[in-house]
């Protein structure tokens, strides 16, 4: 069973996450997240000031100091729930509840394995094990983590571009049927271009969670005029990966409310 969540691909692939000035360097310098969580918080270079700090975690973070993250400014979190068709994170329930208990808005994400099954089966795994959505104002739409294959050189999991688009569509439609929300899509511009042919058909339905370890989100995949979430570093002030929500606290609450 893969340990999942290869956020940091090999240097040959990781260059796509870096600016041109640093593309030849395979060392990432995390961007510190300020403690304040107000809409006027100073943001990393090139980013808007109207952003809300957040984080994402998996079983690799173990027991998370949620109160410490809250005190340092985090106001939302995504927690890994599932992977493929048969993996459920053993720390999901504790982490998901811990984020809620300190006041965070939180959501569940699924690590995609298009090489092991169809999208509908994996969507069912997510919804059955933490990916349900409720309009309580504290639950983000589920998220699909679709990125570099952690188990080999075939970054597209053996699927053609058209097959990959169909797989993502099946996953997204199934989640929507089961929860009433289309999932956010976590990806990189490089992976999306390489493995979907830079398909533009998801921008009108699925929030974009872009990963780019740089001073700005950069050029987005086709179909999205803006991002909703931005993962900009794999370590920093909070446990796990460091993120911004692209909007105010009120807009974040509206997204959760649906």
Give the residue numbers annotated as catalytic, written as ranges.
Answer: 56, 145, 147
| Residue 141 burial (10 A CB sphere; 0-12, 13-18, 19+) | buried
What is the sign, positive or negative, of the torsion defined by CA atoms of 42, 46, 48, 54? Answer: negative
Yes or no: say if 104 and 77 are a contact pair by the CB < 8 Å rule: yes
Report the distance separating Cα 38 and Cα 43, nearest Å.
11
CA triple 244-250-255, angle to 5 deg: 70
> In terms of C-beta density within 10 A (0-12 exposed, 13-18 middle, 19 or more buried), how is residue 34 classed?
middle
Structure tokens at 251: 């807009």
How far are the Cα atoms of 9, 18, 238 from residue 212, in angstroms, in the given order?
Answer: 12, 7, 17
In this structure, the number of other CB atoms found within 10 A of the CB of residue 132 comes to: 16
Counting DSSP H helices and E strands in the chain, the numbers are 7, 9
| Cα gap 44→186, rounded to integer Å | 20
């Amino acid at each position: 069973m893969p340990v999942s969540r290869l956020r940091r691909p090999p240097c040959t692939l990781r260059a796509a996450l870096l600016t041109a000035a640093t593309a030849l360097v395979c060392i990432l310098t995390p961007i510190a997240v300020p403690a304040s969580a107000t809409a006027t918080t100073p943001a990393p270079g090139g980013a808007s000031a109207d952003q809300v700090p957040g984080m994402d975690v998996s079983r690799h973070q173990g027991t998370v100091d949620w109160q410490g993250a809250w005190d340092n400014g985090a106001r939302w979190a995504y927690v890994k729930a599932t992977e493929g068709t048969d993996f459920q994170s053993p720390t999901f329930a504790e982490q998901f509840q811990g984020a809620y208990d300190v006041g965070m808005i939180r959501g569940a994400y699924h690590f995609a394995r298009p090489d092991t099954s169809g999208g509908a089966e994996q969507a069912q795994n997510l919804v059955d094990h933490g990916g349900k959505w409720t309009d309580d104002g504290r639950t983000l739409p589920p998220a699909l983590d679709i990125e570099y294959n952690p188990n080999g050189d075939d970054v597209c999991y053996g699927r053609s571009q058209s097959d990959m688009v169909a797989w993502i569509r099946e996953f997204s439609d199934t989640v929507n049927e089961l929860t009433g929300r289309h999932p956010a899509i976590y990806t990189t511009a490089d992976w999306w271009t390489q493995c979907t042919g830079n398909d533009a058909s998801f921008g009108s339905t699925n929030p974009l969670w872009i990963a780019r370890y740089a001073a700005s989100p950069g050029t987005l995949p086709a179909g999205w005029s803006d991002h909703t979430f931005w993962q900009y570093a794999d370590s920093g002030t909070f446990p796990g990966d460091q993120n911004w929500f692209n909007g105010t606290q009120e807009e974040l609450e509206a997204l959760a409310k649906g």
